[in-house]
Amino acid sequence: MRLSVRSLRGRRTKVPLTVDNVYFLQAEEMMKVHVVCGLLVSLMVFSCIGLFDNGFDEALFRKERAAWEAQGLRYYRFAATCRASFAGFAPETFECTVFPDREAEVVLTSHYMPDVYYGDTIDEIYQYIADTVANGGHRLNITVRYNKEYHYPEYLFESSRGGGSDELEITEFEPLGE
């Protein structure tokens, strides 16, 4: 009896069915299994590197949020630009006026990106960041830059390990009084 196998050059050939040939073929198959398993384990290890390191500085976030809240600013206006990779980074710009005793007024100045929402107030933007870190931050790389004078997050960039990214930039900020 003969066994059909593929030679090193890729051609099919027939070899006698002996114990040595069967053992060699089993060892060759086991080597393939070991190589595939080794590659899979390597991929899993490399994909988990930095699983909990998302670039987000939680201590700085808490410090800046506390400094923002300590100012007690409740009446202000800001303009912002959002961009998302799924929309080809087309900018969506908007202006918000925040009042102490009623809902913020939001005026969209462009309409490129539906469904990208960070909040209408600085407090809501801070909450968005906190929720994002708490609920999925390990899957994202998160960068926040804070305004040195008023301590609001003037730039937020988040990118998923799958390749998508979003950003928010507050381009103007003006306190309007008490």
The low-confidence residues of the chain, meaning pLDDT below 70, are 1-54, 86-89, 111-117, 137-139, 178
Two tokens at 169? 């930039």
What is the number of alpha carbons within 13 Å of residue 165 lying toward its C-beta?
Answer: 14
Two tokens at 120? 């209408």
The rounded distance, in Å, linking the Cα atoms of 172 and 80 is 7
Helix ranges (DSSP H) in 12-121: 19-48, 58-71
pTM of the model: 0.65
Res 150: pLDDT: 94
Element (H, E) at 156: strand 153-160
Two tokens at 17? 């069915």
Res 49: pLDDT: 43
